[in-house]
């Protein structure tokens, strides 16, 4: 990985927008700092489109898209998106129709209960009630669960036909196929009319964790903050010196500077 100071000036000038993860990328241990929030505003004022791409629940998007200078939010690891269409006007995109979602939701809750009965060390995440398409367990947000124990839960969920995604704080299970890369490309097409080729080249992504790997492999200009976890098969092209929100602000500073 190259240092963020090597970010291509031509790429920076041609960017349409920035995609960013929340936990441990924009946020510091669940909190947004003045530094990272200011950086978000400066990117917005520089004319860049902004989409959060997160494993956090779709319920968060109802608030964040109203309060932050963003054009939308891709949630639940790419499955559900909320786009800002005007003052108090929003459009929700789901991978499937309402009837299919209801069926998958019923199956998902049954599997989650089965997992809780079988593995007494695992508990739901505090925001699970705000989710539409996935179910999450707390493995690092308020309690630390040993990796080998989390592996057991993942193996069992997959045996039951579910897809699993692990972030720095949560273990996600779902019956959907989208990930952060495909979900973000779909959101960019719906929001800005860019096809997948242009989306991959004209949007930069910044993240920190294993569940960001699909976005690292999808977007040509991807960045990892210094606290990047795991060993993604396709690592980000650049890396910041700063961690978490400070790393996000460092990335924003370089992009804005290079854009002139």
pLDDT of residue 47: 97
Instruction: State the pLDDT confidence band at 221, using cuts at 50, 70 and 90.
Output: very high
Give the sheet arrangement for strand 163-166, strand by strand: 134-138, 170-174, 163-166
pLDDT > 90? residue 87: no
Per-residue pLDDT, averaged over 31-46, amounts to: 98
pLDDT > 90? residue 23: yes
Q: From 144, 174, 204, give the residue that closes a domain.
A: 174
Per residue in 115-170, pLDDT (tens digit) is 999 999 999 999 999 999 999 999 999 999 999 999 999 999 999 999 999 988 99
pLDDT > 80? residue 184: yes
Same domain membership, residue 190 and residue 117: no
Q: What average pLDDT does the structure give for the chain?
A: 96
Same domain membership, residue 183 and residue 165: no
Same domain membership, residue 90 and residue 7: yes
Instruction: State the pLDDT confidence band at 92, using cuts at 50, 70 and 90.
Output: very high
Instruction: State the pLDDT confidence band at 233, using cuts at 50, 70 and 90.
Output: confident
Q: From 174, 189, 219, give the residue that closes a domain.
A: 174
| 19 close to 51: Cβ distance less than 8 angstroms | yes
pLDDT of residue 79: 97
Instruction: State the pLDDT confidence band at 229, using cuts at 50, 70 and 90.
Output: confident
CATH for 146 = 3.90.1070.10
Residue 138 has phi, psi (to 5 degrees) of -80, 115
Range of the domain at 152: 98-174
Could you give the percent of the chain with pLDDT greater than 70? 100
Q: In terms of Cα–Cα distance, which of 225, 202, 213, 224 is closest to 18?
A: 202
Same domain membership, residue 165 and residue 49: no
Same domain membership, residue 189 and residue 132: no
Output Rg (C-alpha) for the chain, integer angstroms. 18
What is this structure's pTM? Answer: 0.94
pLDDT of residue 234: 85
Same domain membership, residue 35 and residue 150: no
């Amino acid at each position: 990985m190259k240092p963020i100071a090597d970010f291509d000036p031509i790429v920076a000038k041609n960017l349409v927008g920035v995609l960013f993860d929340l936990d441990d990328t924009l946020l510091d241990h669940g909190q947004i700092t003045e530094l990272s929030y200011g950086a978000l505003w400066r990117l917005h004022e520089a004319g860049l489109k902004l989409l959060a791409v997160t494993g956090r629940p779709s319920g968060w998007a109802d608030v964040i898209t109203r309060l932050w200078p963003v054009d939308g939010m891709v949630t639940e690891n790419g499955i559900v998106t909320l786009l800002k269409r005007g003052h108090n006007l929003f459009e929700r995109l789901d991978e499937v129709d309402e009837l299919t979602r209801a069926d998958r939701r019923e199956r998902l809750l049954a599997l989650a209960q089965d997992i809780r009965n079988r593995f007494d060390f695992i508990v739901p995440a505090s925001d699970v009630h705000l989710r539409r398409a996935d179910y999450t367990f707390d493995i690092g947000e308020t309690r630390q669960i040993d990796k080998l124990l989390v592996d057991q839960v993942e193996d069992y969920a997959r045996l039951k036909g579910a897809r699993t995604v692990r972030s720095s704080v949560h273990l996600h299970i779902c019956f959907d196929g989208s990930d952060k890369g495909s979900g973000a490309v779909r959101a960019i097409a719906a929001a800005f009319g860019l096809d997948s080729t242009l989306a991959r080249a004209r949007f930069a992504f910044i993240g920190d964790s294993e569940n960001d790997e699909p976005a690292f492999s999808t977007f040509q200009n991807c960045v990892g903050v210094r606290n990047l976890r795991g060993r993604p098969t396709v690592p980000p092209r650049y890396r910041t010196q700063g961690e978490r929100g400070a790393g996000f602000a460092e990335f924003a500073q370089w992009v804005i500077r290079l854009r002139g």
